[in-house]
C-alpha cells in the first residue's frame, strides 16, 4: 500500500489547523490558567483529531477500500505533504518553547503551579478530635513546636462539627525559621512552606496566646458540644464590647453585662461563631470605661486595621463595610447602615480588601474593592441605598479610584496599568460614567 497516500489524506489542511489551534490553547492554559475553561476547548479538539485518525486508519488499512479515487487529487498536491509536515514541526517547536517559558518563575500560571507543587506537602491528620486533643493536636501532626514563638498573618481558623471533629483549618502562620500556609478541608492537610509573607514578629500577632485562651474557655466550649461552630483567632484587637462578648477576669471568662456594654476593650481576641452569633473573647481584657466615642466630620471615611471601611455620611447616617469572613488574606463583607446589615454580599461573591465608600445621596453611592496583593480594583454602584450593587466597567481599565465630588460634579479616575502616568477621567451623569479626558500624558 502507498503509505504516502495515507499520510497525505490524514494530515490534511483542516487537521493541521486543528492541531495548531490545540497547541495554542494548551499554551494559553499554561500562561493564564483557567483549567476548566480551556479544557472545554482542548478536549473536543483532541477528540476530533483522534476520531479522524481512527476513522482514516480503519478505512485505509483494515477495510482496504478502493482508494484510487484519491490518486488524481493527491497527484496535484504532492508538495502538500512536505509543507504540512514542515508546518507541524515549526508550530510544535514554537508553541513548545512558548509553553516551556511559562514554567520559568513569574512568566506564567504554570510556573506558579510548579512552585506550589514543589513547596507544598500533604500531611495526614490524626489528632482531629477537638475535645480530646484540642488545637494543640493540630500542631503535633504538623510537627511544629508550640513552645516556640509563633505568629499569624491575618487569622487562624478552625471549624468543629457536631461530633467534635475538626473539619477545616485555615491560616498563614510563621516562626523565625519558616512560614506555613495551612489548608485542611476534610482530607489530608496541605501545607505550603516558606510562602511569601510579611514577617513582622509583632507581639500583637503572637499565636501562642490562642492556646492559653482555649485552656481557659473549657466551660463555654463544653456548652457547644453537639453543635457546629467556628473558632477564629485574630490576634490583638481594639474593639467595643457587645452583649455576646466575653472578657477575662481571674483566669475565667465573664460575659459582658450591662455595666460594660459598648465600652472599649483591648486584648488578644478569639471569636466563636455559632449559627448567626459571633462571640469575641478578649485576654487580657483592658477595658477603658472613660473612653468616649471619637467624633468624626460629615463625609469623613476611615479604614481601620482590620480592613473595615466606615463612611460618616452625616450626623445621623453611617455606612460601613464589615468583614464577615476571611481566608488567606481575602476578606468578604457585609454592607451596614447605622450598624444594621442591609446587604449580606455587596460585592456579589467577590473577595478582597475594601478600599472605600462614597455616597452622592442616601440612594446613590459607590464601594471599591481591591484584589489580593495587586493594585487592581473594582467599583460597584448602588441606586437603592446599598440594598444591591452592580459592578462598573471602564474600557479594560482595571485600576479604578474612588469617586469624588468637585464643583458639584462626581468624577472618577482610572488607569490601564498600575505604573501608568496617564489617567482617564470620567464624570457620573444620569446613572452612567461618561469619558471626559485623559490626564498626565
The 3-state DSSP class for residue 391 equals strand
Confidence band for 291, pLDDT divided at 50, 70 and 90:
very low
Specify the higher pLDDT residue, 3 or 249: 249
Confidence band for 196, pLDDT divided at 50, 70 and 90:
low
Is residue 193 within 8 Å of residue 178, measured between CB atoms?
Answer: yes
Show the cell assigned to 221.
466550649
Give phi and psi for 402, each to the nearest 5: -85, 130
Q: What pLDDT was estimated at residue 139?
A: 93
Specify the higher pLDDT residue, 194 or 386: 386
Residue with cell 493527491: 74
Mean pLDDT of 73-82: 62
* pLDDT tens figures, 378-389: 999 999 999 999
CA atoms within 13 A on the CB side of 300: 8
Residue with cell 448567626: 276
Is residue 364 within 8 Å of residue 410, measured between CB atoms?
Answer: no
Is residue 394 within 8 Å of residue 432, measured between CB atoms?
Answer: no
Mean pLDDT of 416-422: 78
Give the C-alpha separation, 237 to 154, whole Å. 12
Show the cell assigned to 149.
514563638
Q: What pLDDT was estimated at residue 14?
A: 86
Q: What pLDDT was estimated at residue 345?
A: 93
Q: What pLDDT was estimated at residue 141?
A: 92
Mean pLDDT score of the chain, rounded to an integer?
85
Show the cell assigned to 261.
456594654
* pLDDT tens figures, 159-192: 999 999 999 999 999 988 888 889 898 878 888 7
* pLDDT tens figures, 15-41: 888 889 999 999 999 988 888 888 898
Show the cell assigned to 42.
482542548
Q: The dihedral of CA 421, 427, 433, 434: what is its sign? A: negative
Plot region of 332 (φ>0 → left; ψ -120 to 50 → alpha; else → beta): beta
Confidence band for 260, pLDDT divided at 50, 70 and 90:
confident
Is residue 152 within 8 Å of residue 235, measured between CB atoms?
Answer: yes
pTM (two decimals)? 0.48
Q: What pLDDT was estimated at residue 65?
A: 55
Mean pLDDT check: name the lowest of 34-38, 195-199, 328-332, 400-404.
195-199
Alpha helices (H) in 376-418, listed in sequence order: none
Give the C-alpha separation, 350 to 436, whole Å. 29
Give the C-alpha separation, 300 to 107, whole Å. 42
Show the cell assigned to 267.
486584648
Give the C-alpha separation, 345 to 330, whole Å. 14
Mean pLDDT of 272-280: 89
Specify the higher pLDDT residue, 321 or 178: 321
* pLDDT beyond 90 at 61: no
Give the C-alpha separation, 61 to 56, whole Å. 8
Give the C-alpha separation, 68 to 362, whole Å. 81
pLDDT above 90 as % of the chain = 37
* pLDDT tens figures, 133-163: 999 999 999 999 888 789 998 899 999 999 9
Q: What pLDDT was estimated at residue 1?
A: 46
Give the C-alpha separation, 269 to 237, whole Å. 6
* pLDDT beyond 50 at 281: yes
Instruction: Give 49's DSSP letter.
Output: H
Amino acid at each position: 500500500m502507498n503509505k504516502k497516500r495515507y499520510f497525505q489524506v490524514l494530515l490534511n489542511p483542516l487537521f493541521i489547523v486543528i492541531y495548531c489551534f490545540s497547541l495554542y490553547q494548551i499554551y494559553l492554559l499554561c500562561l493564564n490558567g483557567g483549567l476548566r475553561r480551556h479544557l472545554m476547548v482542548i478536549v473536543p479538539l483532541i477528540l476530533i483529531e483522534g476520531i479522524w485518525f481512527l476513522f482514516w486508519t480503519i478505512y485505509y488499512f483494515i477495510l482496504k477500500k478502493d482508494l484510487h479515487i484519491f490518486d488524481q487529487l493527491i497527484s496535484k498536491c504532492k508538495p502538500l505533504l512536505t509543507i504540512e509536515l514542515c508546518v507541524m514541526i515549526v508550530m510544535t517547536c514554537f508553541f513548545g518553547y512558548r509553553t516551556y517559558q511559562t514554567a520559568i518563575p513569574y512568566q506564567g500560571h504554570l510556573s506558579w503551579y510548579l512552585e506550589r507543587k514543589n513547596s507544598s506537602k500533604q500531611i495526614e491528620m490524626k489528632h482531629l478530635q477537638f475535645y480530646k486533643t484540642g488545637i494543640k493536636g493540630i500542631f503535633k501532626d504538623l510537627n511544629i513546636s508550640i513552645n516556640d514563638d509563633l505568629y499569624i498573618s491575618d487569622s487562624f481558623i478552625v471549624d468543629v462539627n457536631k461530633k467534635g471533629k475538626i473539619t477545616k483549618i485555615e491560616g498563614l502562620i510563621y516562626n523565625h525559621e519558616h512560614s506555613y500556609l495551612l489548608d485542611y478541608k476534610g482530607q489530608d492537610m496541605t501545607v505550603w512552606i516558606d510562602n511569601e509573607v510579611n514577617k513582622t514578629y509583632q507581639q500583637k500577632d503572637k499565636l501562642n496566646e490562642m492556646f492559653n485562651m482555649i485552656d481557659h474557655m473549657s466551660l463555654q466550649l463544653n456548652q457547644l458540644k453537639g453543635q457546629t461552630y467556628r473558632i477564629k483567632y485574630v490576634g490583638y484587637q481594639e474593639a467595643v464590647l457587645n452583649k455576646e462578648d466575653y472578657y477575662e477576669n481571674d483566669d475565667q471568662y465573664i460575659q459582658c453585662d450591662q455595666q460594660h456594654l459598648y465600652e472599649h476593650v483591648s486584648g488578644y481576641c478569639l471569636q466563636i461563631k455559632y449559627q448567626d452569633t459571633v462571640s469575641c473573647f478578649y485576654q487580657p481584657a483592658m477595658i477603658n470605661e472613660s473612653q468616649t466615642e471619637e467624633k468624626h466630620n460629615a463625609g469623613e471615611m476611615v479604614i481601620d486595621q482590620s480592613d473595615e471601611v466606615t463612611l460618616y455620611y452625616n450626623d445621623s447616617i453611617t455606612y460601613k463595610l464589615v468583614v464577615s469572613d476571611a481566608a488567606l488574606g481575602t476578606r468578604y463583607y457585609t454592607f451596614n447602615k447605622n450598624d444594621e446589615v442591609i446587604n449580606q454580599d455587596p460585592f456579589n461573591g467577590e473577595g478582597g480588601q475594601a478600599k472605600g465608600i462614597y455616597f452622592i445621596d442616601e440612594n446613590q453611592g459607590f464601594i471599591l474593592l481591591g484584589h489580593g496583593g495587586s493594585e487592581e480594583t473594582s467599583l460597584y454602584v448602588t441606586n437603592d441605598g446599598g440594598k444591591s450593587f452592580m459592578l462598573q466597567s471602564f474600557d479594560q481599565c482595571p485600576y479604578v479610584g474612588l469617586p469624588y465630588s468637585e464643583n458639584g460634579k462626581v468624577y472618577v479616575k482610572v488607569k490601564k496599568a498600575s505604573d501608568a502616568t496617564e489617567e482617564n477621567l470620567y464624570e457620573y451623569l444620569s446613572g452612567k460614567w461618561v469619558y471626559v479626558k485623559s490626564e498626565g500624558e
